[in-house]
Amino acid sequence: MAPINVGLMGYGFSTKCFHLPFIEPNEDLNVYAFLQRARAPVDTINMETGVHVTADYPHTKHYRTAETFFADPAIELVIICTNVETHAEFAEKALLAGKHVVVEKPFTVTSTEADHLIAIAKKAGKVLTCFQNRRYDGDFQTISHLISKKAFGKITECEIHYDADSPAWVSKWDSPGLIPGEGMLYGLGSHTLDQALQLFGRPKSVTAFLRTLRSIESETDDAFTVILQYEGDQKDLLVTVKTTIVSPMERQMKLFVRGTEGSFLKFDEDLQADQVMAGMLSTESTFGVEDSASYGLLSTVKEFDGKTQTFDKRCKKYVGKWPTASGRYLGYYEDVVAAIRGIAELHVKPEQARDVIRLIELARESHNKGASVSWS
């Protein structure tokens, strides 16, 4: 079967770090075209790598306008890696042009936009999905496994962190007002809120606190705490999703889960992005494999795993470092291909991506009101 022709919109950090390294090794995908508005340079031979697609990918098509890009009938799958305010517009145009679509996170700015795109995709019979690659993080795969095996009994608390101490890239948020789609809630929050929804489903209510900790007065958040409360069988569950740019810690907190039968505490971020930036290939055997020093600590009332746990007389619990599953962003595009070819159900459904955006909207509403708000 011939590979699927891929057209990528944008040639920035996201395209080069999070998409191409996981598209190129996939034999079912062919990097066919790029949309990059910059004019092709005259001298591509002596050009620095990563500046222009005509130098890095000389055998691909180069388009400078969206109109000519979408008009190419050979493009089958469009990857949208442009600014968030263009996501909905470009996704709609791609679907109407008969393309399958992957949208970089955040999916859209509003849930209304997301609903509109979902309706268009259904009518067109095309795959529409969001690049929720953090579902393929080793730590998320690990906690998902432990929860599925009921290692914690009835879960009463979960904290999901994605902290970054004084990151240089927040300096671009220099507007005193709120720019739709900008800020940490849309940025890192679109990953961790997705993880929370995948683990526990839609909450009953949302309570949020948004802050600006960088050295300017702005409505664009760079720190947030979102608290999700549930009902029914999960009425005793409290889920907290947090990000801050003030975190001078030796190791950043990542996950904390506890329940009636056990707990799990983990530090350190998934290492795949750092490995790509260091030049490692996503096909190398050690790619996504975490060092044992970063394994999380699993403590249980009863022995859960005799190979990794020992009985601690001090706390009267079975305690041990639980190996982190290997992170594998390659799996994202493998799943997209399977969905396009009708082999498997789409893993990251657009309705799920829409719920992330709705949760962000509700978090902002809660913050503005200074009160909890119900899911709606």
What's the whole-number mean pLDDT along residues 37-60?
Answer: 90
pLDDT digits (tens, 9 = 90+) for 246-268: 999 999 999 999 999 999 999 99
Mean pLDDT for the stretch of residues 213-241: 96
Looking at residue 45, its pLDDT comes to 77
Dump pLDDT digits (tens) for 159-204.
999 999 999 999 889 999 999 999 999 999 999 999 999 999 999 9
pTM, two decimals, is 0.96
The pLDDT tens digits for 116-167 are 999 999 999 999 999 999 999 999 999 999 999 999 999 999 999 999 999 9
47 pLDDT band, cuts 50/70/90, is confident
| Whole-number Å distance between alpha carbons of 102 and 93 | 13
> What b/e readout covers 297-309, taking b as 16+ CB neighbours within 10 angstroms?
ebbbeeebeeeeb
Q: In what order do the strands lie in the sheet with 223-229?
A: 310-312, 317-322, 296-300, 262-267, 253-259, 155-161, 238-243, 223-229, 205-211, 373-374
Task: Round to whole Å and give the CA distance between 75 and 100.
Answer: 9
Cα 89 to Cα 65, 72, 103, 108, distances in angstroms: 14, 18, 11, 9
Amino acid type, 65: T
Which phi and psi angles does 243 have, rounded to 5°? -145, 140
Radius of gyration of the chain (CA): 22
Strand partners, 319: 299, 310
| pLDDT over threshold 80, residue 373 | yes
For residue 14, give every residue at least 6 positions away whose Cβ sits within 8 Å of its Cβ, in sequence order, or none: 81, 104
